[in-house]
Amino acid sequence: MTTYTLKAKDITETWHVVDASGKALGRMASEIAATLRGKNRPTFTPSMGNGDFVIVINAARVKISGDMNEKKYYRHSQYPGGLKTVTQEKLLATRPERVIEFAVKGMLPHNSHGAKLLKHLKVYAGSDHPHQAQVNAGNGSPRGVTAPAPKAAKQTETPKAAAPEGPAEPSEETVQPAEETQTTKETQE
């Protein structure tokens, strides 16, 4: 028996929408990180990005439990004395997308592969997002292959008034080409 190896042409990417309203931050972030890595697929390969895209909406309504509002996020400007600090409560009030991005980033690999996976995460504070076309596309298509244009939805016909009775027009399938008859040969003579 041979071991299955995932190939880049076999990867299909789907788009998932997660509503963060009332969900615990940590539990939701761990589910999102698993989906981004592709751990929910039977073809999971740690070194390949076979995960899906995740769209998180309503990030401003995420549930923070315990004393996590006092948690601090640090960044440094690389200049002496350039350490900046912001609490989670203030960050949730000003930029709620960053709270979810930081939580998911901490659960992804801390290397270039994790940075690439983080680009598949789209977080929005409200319920609107500009990725509706991708979500409607369904399962997505393999990388490098453009998906065929979706077929136009059939519109239901409205009942028409009774059509006048008379001879129906022949359809293209019932029309047969005229054959040469002997009368045309006789006229030529």
Q: Summarize pLDDT for 32-58 with one digit per residue, the tens.
A: 999 999 998 888 888 888 888 999 999
Q: Summarize pLDDT for 173-189 with one digit per residue, the tens.
A: 544 545 544 544 455 55
- Mean pLDDT in the chain? 80
- CATH code that applies to domain 9-64+96-136: 3.90.1180.10
Q: Write out the two tokens for 32.
A: 């999102």
pTM as predicted: 0.69
36 CB-contact burial (10 Å; exposed 0-12 / middle 13-18 / buried 19+): buried
Q: Is the pLDDT of residue 170 over 90?
A: no
- What residue ranges do the domains of the chain occupy? 9-64+96-136
| Confidence bin at 154 (pLDDT 50/70/90) | low
